[in-house]
Structure 1
Amino acid sequence: MKTTPVFDEIVATCALVAMRGVIPSLLEYQTQLRARVERFGQELADKKLSAETRDALCRLTCKVLDINTQQCLEEQDVSWRGYELEHVFYGYSQEPLYTEAHATQLFTDKSEDVVHYALLLSSLSPVLLPGSEYRQSLTLAKPAVTVVSKRAERIEPVPVTEVEPEPAPPHFWTPLLIQLFATTLLLAGLWSACWHYLKDGM
């Protein structure tokens, strides 16, 4: 499934801060993130998605970006407090930014694009977010969730020889192997997105 350029930028940003990259200017960094979230929201509006779906996706995007950035900065003894995207877009509230209701809205949406965005964004979070049961079931059902740029799609796939599997009784390793396979594909997609993002320049 193809993703949009601005979504690839958001994914690449999450991957870069997860690798504990240095952020020279918090204000400039926040400005860039804010612009990307706004562009992403506009693209969702152009797709004629409902206001509830757009809101839930933007909330999830802000949540994941804030969490990854906060953890990155904590290791550098720097605080993200006062720069959070949550407060930029939704103000200050006692209510959680992203709830089970928002997760249900996304993971049960009829649009495959919406489910794909929600699954990938949730996978980028270093902490467990609402909707984990949807994420687990979708990951096991569709392990090949990857981030692919238009240029990366032109790479010829490596041929794989199909082998008739021998019948074997199911055991507890099977779900683990499936999750490891899905994680490997996800990391490969993230590296691809990061490479193209860094090549084009921030």
Structure 2
Amino acid sequence: MAIANTSDPEEDELYEHYNFVASKGQEPLRVDKFLMNFIENATRNKIQLAAKKGHIWVNESVVKQNYKVKAGDEVKVFFEHPPYEFLLSPEDIPLNIVYEDESLLVVNKPAGMVVHPGHGNYSGTLINALLHHIKNLPVNSDERPGLVHRIDKDTSGLLVIAKTEMAMTHLAKQFFDKTSEREYLALVWGNID
């Protein structure tokens, strides 16, 4: 979610990074302390700086760091940039493309490569490589360009990537309806019962 930043006319908009609703049993607690309980790797200084910049909102209003969060309060933290998983940058990463036409491509993802950016993995992903290889990929409902399915980081294998809106729609429907066929192979060692 993006909003206009009314506190600083030089900034176009702020992007929501976090959204929490205080539980029914929440005792009044300073918003900076409240957020430290929920945001991984957050320091009190970072949270207080966000409050000073007007980036902490409770129930749709900007609050200071000493605001006391109460049960049912909706607490949001905004920053000038989108969350890192939405900051998609093309990166010149080699792709093992096994098939490509005007509508789709099939890429052999190596084990160890993350498919899309997420917490702790903001670059070096398959999406970053695809954005370098193909301009204007269609975006799925999760704002992930070209993706109609994914496989885990440590799994190698073929991924189908949509290059057009029509391909995105039809491929996503096939995966949703489970009408596409997939085959998984596993290498196993040791004593298996």
- Normalising by structure 2, report the TM-score: 0.25
Bigger relative contact order, structure 1 or 2, given CA contacts below 8 A and separation 6+?
1
| Structure of larger gyration radius | 2
- Normalising by structure 1, report the TM-score: 0.24
Larger helix percent: 1
Larger strand percent: 2
